[in-house]
Structures are given as structure tokens and as C-alpha cells.
Structure 1
Amino acid sequence: MARVEVEMMTGQHNYAVLRLPGRRFPGVLVQGDSLSILSGEVQQALDLLRAGDTAAAEEELAYVANHLAELVDGYVRILDAAGMPLPFQRPA
């Protein structure tokens, strides 16, 4: 394990936007419990789809999609505030 300095571009939340040394663009650090919740929601949706319950699966996937969209929106706002370009096409 190596210790490195990172550029922290956000306050402390359930996620953080950080830029590692040598990287052009920052990344998003997601807390382990939040990552586990997202993974569990996707697994639940998969189980529901396999069981034929598409309505419940859609609800689970909508939760995950909304959560990920919030992360992307926050990332975009932070990079915009820092005057940095995005590493992807700006969401509509």
C-alpha cells in the first residue's frame, strides 16, 4: 500500500471527488456502505427480473439510476466550479 496526496475537490459526504497524482481527471470515491447498497439494489433488480416481476425490478433500477445520476450531476457541478473540462460528453 502506498500513501499519496490527493486533490480533494468536495467536502466530506457519502462520496468525494478526488484527483489522484498523475491523473488528468478526478474520480469519485464512494463509501463502502453506499457501494454495497447500490450493488444490493442491482442484485435485487436482477433477482426480480429472473422471477418475472418486472414492475418491482423497474422500481429498483429507477432507484439506482437516480442515485447514479445524482453522482454524475454532482461531479459535473464540481468540475464546472473548478473550471475543468469533463472527461465525457455533458449529460442532457
Structure 2
Amino acid sequence: MERVEAELFTDGGNNAVVRLPGRRFPGVLIQGDSLSILRSDIAEVVAACEQGDAAAACETAGLLLTDLDALLTRYSAALDAHEIPRPF
């Protein structure tokens, strides 16, 4: 394990915006439990698709998109607040 200092652009929380040494742009640190929930939700979409349940797949995918949009908004706001251009 290597210890490094990182720049924190938002509060810690479950999805902190941080920049590691040597990186031009910050990234998003997602806690392990949140990552597991994200994986579970995607597995639910896949299972619904395999079962031919397009309505359930669309509903869950829509919720995932909403969550990812909120995360991207938080990331973009953090970059804007620190006058960092977006990498996309």
C-alpha cells in the first residue's frame, strides 16, 4: 500500500471528487458499498433484459441514469467551482 495526499474538491461523502498526484483531472471516489449497489442495479437490468421484461429493464435503467446524471452534475460543479476544465 502506498500513502499519497489527494486534493479533495467536495465533502467526503459516498462519491467524493478528488485528484490524485500526477493526474490532470480529478476523479470520483465511489465507496465500496455504493459500487456494489451500482453493480447490483446493473445486474437487475441485465436480468430483466434476459427475461424479456423490457419495462422493468427500462425502469431500472432510468433510475441508474438519474443517479449517474446527479453524480456527473456534482463532478461538473466541483470542477467549475475550482475553475478546472472538464475532460469531456
* TM-score computed with the length of structure 2 as normaliser: 0.97
Q: Distance in 2 between the 1:35 and 1:75 partners?
A: 17
Q: Percent identity?
A: 49
User: In structure 2, the residue corresponding to 1:28 is in which secondary structure?
Assistant: strand
1:21 alignment partner in structure 2: 21
Tell me the amino acid that sits aligned with residue 85 of structure 1. Answer: P
* TM-score computed with the length of structure 1 as normaliser: 0.93
2:63 alignment partner in structure 1: 63
Where structure 2 has 5 or more consecutive residues not aligned to the other structure, the ranges are none
Q: Distance in 2 between the 1:2 and 1:12 partners?
A: 20
Q: Which has the higher contact order (CA 8 A, sep 6+)?
A: 2
Q: Distance in 2 between the 1:36 and 1:62 partners?
A: 18
1:79 alignment partner in structure 2: 79
Q: Distance in 2 between the 1:14 and 1:29 partners?
A: 8
* Cα RMSD, aligned residues only: 0.6
Where structure 1 has 5 or more consecutive residues not aligned to the other structure, the ranges are none
Which aligned runs of 4 or more in structure 1 are off by greater than 2 angstroms? none
Deviation at 1:86, TM superposition (A): 0.4
Q: Distance in 1 between the 2:61 and 2:35 partners?
A: 15
1:24-39 equivalences in 2 (<5 Å) = 24-39=24-39
Deviation at 1:82, TM superposition (A): 0.3
